[in-house]
Structure 1
Amino acid sequence: MKFSLKRTIFMQELQTVQRAISSKTTIPILTGVKIVVNEEGITLTGSNSDISIETFLSVQTEAAQLHIEQTGQIVLPARFFSEIVRRLSEEDFTLEVLENNQVAITSGKANFTINGLDGDSYPHLPVIESPNPIKLPVHVLSKLITETGFAVSQHESRPILTGVHFVLKDQKLLAVATDSHRLSQRVIPIEQAVENFDIVIPGKSLTELSRSFTDEEELVEISIMENQVLFKTETMYFYSRLLEGNYPDTNRLIPSSFNTEIEFYVPKLISAIERASLLTHEGRNNIVRLAITDNSVVLYGNSPEVGKVEESLNYEQVTGEPLEISFNPDYMKAALRAFGDMNVTVKFISAVRPFTIEPTENSIEFIQLITPVRTN
């Protein structure tokens, strides 16, 4: 096997597959990157027990200036190999497999020889073929992940809550995540006719997936098998295991009637909460308090060790009963950032019941739920 190409283009592909490579794996060969070269181009593969990523660099890619002299395959230690390529002084480099799986990497006056492993020893990726995969623009899927992924649980005590629940039903794709203190649910319409599904994808897999996309405008195909999901673009295959078990019925958690409603412009509300949490983060209790009356809305932050803050908030309109409620400012900021630059309506039942945040614009099916903090 022998090829030469531009280093920066190759590094982009290598960095993508490295997202799936862990130094902590119990299977030693999975600490490596698999390189397969044929007449059409180079395929790179990285994998761990949760995700596998495969990218393809075509000989047709002009920027790569890829020249293939000999086909073949090899597995190289990913972290070490990546450092070598990244630090080469010249833009072009050549890689050649020698005897006994040794590999020569040449660039300018530098010449490295490193030990590789036989490509046939690398585990095969699952074959996932769906006759009618769901197709979404990359930017739509990325936004869906951003809107829900932050709310997954970080604790393994309930593994199912570390994932995002995806349900396709009645031409609508629902994505919901909760860590039992907060919930984020987004629904988007699906125009094509595809088979219904109900799956839970690990939140960490989705984070790596969204970071791996390079073209926001291309389409991604989603195919599902028993315990795996495949996200496929023109140049990348991204596999993730699915979480086993039944996701809790989150619909019953979302209230339908409220006693107090208030409309805010998101960027202004985030700024105010950030100012309040400057003090609360320094104290033992990271809590802010919101007091709503007929003619004022005030945010309070108090840290006995540091001091206190009080700020009258700008709001669009308020209806309903007066209310005082306390909440975790970090949960609130994360929720608001997922909405972006828009107006939202925050709806309350009482000081001890979860409250919801929704876009004021009714055409967007997006709801978040936050459990308040009880203060005595």
Structure 2
Amino acid sequence: MRFIIQRDYLLQSVQDVMKAVTSRTTIPILTGIKIVVSEEGVTLTGSDSDVSIESFIPKEDGDKEIVEIKQTGSIVLQAKFFSEIVRKLPTDTVEIVVENHLQTVIRSGKSEFNLNGLDAEEYPHLPQIAEENVFRIPTDLLKALIRQTVFAVSTSETRPILTGVNWKVEDNELICIATDSHRLALRKARLETEAVGKHNVVIPGKSLTELSKILDDTAAMVDIVITENQVLFKTKHLLFFSRLLEGNYPDTARLIPNERKTDVVVNTKEFLQAIDRASLLAREGKNNVVKFAILEGNTIEVSSNTPEIGKVVEEIPAQSVEGEELKISFSAKYMMDALKALEGSEIQISFTGAMRPFVIRPLNDEAILQLILPVRTY
């Protein structure tokens, strides 16, 4: 195996597949990156058996040559060392040669590294997914769906199913739901392409976070294929496989209240900044709790009180208040996470009582909602 490649392209691919490589694996070869050179270009693969990422570098991009292929072949190189070497190479081109006994030479400018390789035949095969049930969504929409839900997954392994995001596909709509049982994030999106069949799966939150880091903010389409135990995200030069979480996701529809007793409309930014200020003194206390009260004349009071530190009170105007008066307490962190996930300059908060979950939505947008359970303080 022998090829010469533009260092920037190689580095980008190495950084992408590294997101799937972990040092804590029971299969030693998975601490490496698999490199396969064919007549078409170079394919890099990284995997930790939960997530596998394959990145393809084509021989040429338009009329620009990226890879000069002298001899095809394959090798697995230690990811930790290989990625550091590529990052620090002195010139724009890199030559990689595999000699006898898997000895690999990496040359760039006047610098030459020798690395011991492993046999690529021993690297586990990626899942073979029959691409029948494909649906497609634009990359920037996929990133938004992830950003607006994944923060609400549980970080505790006591209920593993809640560490994932529930994806449901039906009637040409994709619904993404995440909850840690104290809050819930939901985002819907219409699918432009005809989605085949129904799906109801749970994708690990960690997988979606890593996927989001790799994807560029473009309108290019991502193909998504869901099988019984895997999901595949496919872009022009990237395959991202993740295992699915086993088990049934709780029925979250019951959590979302149908009735509402109080509706408040506020400016998102003003409200977020007020919560942020109130949390400065709440942070030390347990749960980071902020109190919210509706005053007369469409005014809201946001406050927090930590006896040993001090207290903060702030009044902000609401665009409108309808329904009953209310006092409620909630986690400042959960509220700030929710507000950052919403788009739009104004939000509507719908309450059904001081101890019932409440819903936050952008004004006039049914596609997204955040739900938070209050904290008992009053």
TM-score, normalised to structure 2's length?
A: 0.96
2:173/2:188 contact within 8 Å kept: yes
Decide which of 306, 320, 324 is 1:321's aligned counterpart: 324
Higher mean alpha-carbon deviation, 54-63 vs 243-252, is at 54-63
Partner of 2:123: 122
The alignment partner of 1:331 has SS state of helix
Displacement of 1:190: 1.9
The alignment partner of 1:239 has SS state of strand
Partner of 2:244: 242
Label 1:373 to 1:354 Cα distance change in 2 as closer, same or farther (>3 A). Answer: same
Partner of 2:11: 11
Q: How many residues align?
A: 375
Partner of 2:362: 359
- Counterparts of 1:98-247 in structure 2 under 5 Å? 98-193=99-194, 194-214=196-216, 216-247=218-249
CA distance in 2, matches of 1:80, 1:64: 27
1:12-71 deviation line (CA, Å, top 9, x unaligned): 110000000000011000000000001110000000121000010001126663211111
Q: Which amino acid aligns with 1:227?
A: N
CA distance in 1, matches of 2:350, 2:300: 14
2:287/2:331 contact within 8 Å kept: no
CA distance in 2, matches of 1:285, 1:360: 29
CA distance in 1, matches of 2:114, 2:64: 26
Q: Which amino acid aligns with 1:311?
A: E
Displacement of 1:191: 3.3
1:266/1:343 contact within 8 Å kept: yes
Partner of 1:84: 85
CA distance in 1, matches of 2:70, 2:143: 38
1:259/1:349 contact within 8 Å kept: yes
The alignment partner of 1:166 has SS state of strand
Displacement of 1:346: 0.3
Gaps of 5+ in 1: none
CA distance in 1, matches of 2:24, 2:253: 38
Displacement of 1:323: 0.8
Q: Which amino acid aligns with 2:197?
A: E
Higher mean alpha-carbon deviation, 330-339 vs 186-195, is at 186-195
CA distance in 2, matches of 1:42, 1:270: 47
Displacement of 1:304: 2.2
CA distance in 2, matches of 1:230, 1:165: 15
1:242-276 deviation line (CA, Å, top 9, x unaligned): 01111111001110111111001211111111111
RMSD over aligned CA atoms reads 1.3
The alignment partner of 1:126 has SS state of coil
Q: Which amino acid aligns with 2:350?
A: K
Partner of 1:292: 294
1:222/1:231 contact within 8 Å kept: yes
The alignment partner of 1:143 has SS state of helix
1:289-344 deviation line (CA, Å, top 9, x unaligned): 00102322110022223221111113211111111110000000000111134311
Partner of 1:43: 43
Displacement of 1:87: 1.1
* Structure 2 residue 2 is matched with structure 1 residue 2: yes
CA distance in 2, matches of 1:338, 1:103: 46
2:187/2:369 contact within 8 Å kept: yes
Displacement of 1:132: 4.0
* Structure 2 residue 275 is matched with structure 1 residue 273: yes
CA distance in 2, matches of 1:65, 1:160: 43
Displacement of 1:285: 4.6
Partner of 2:345: 342
Displacement of 1:11: 0.4
TM-score, normalised to structure 1's length?
A: 0.97
1:294/1:318 contact within 8 Å kept: no
Q: Which amino acid aligns with 2:266?
A: F
CA distance in 2, matches of 1:244, 1:80: 35
Gaps of 5+ in 2: none
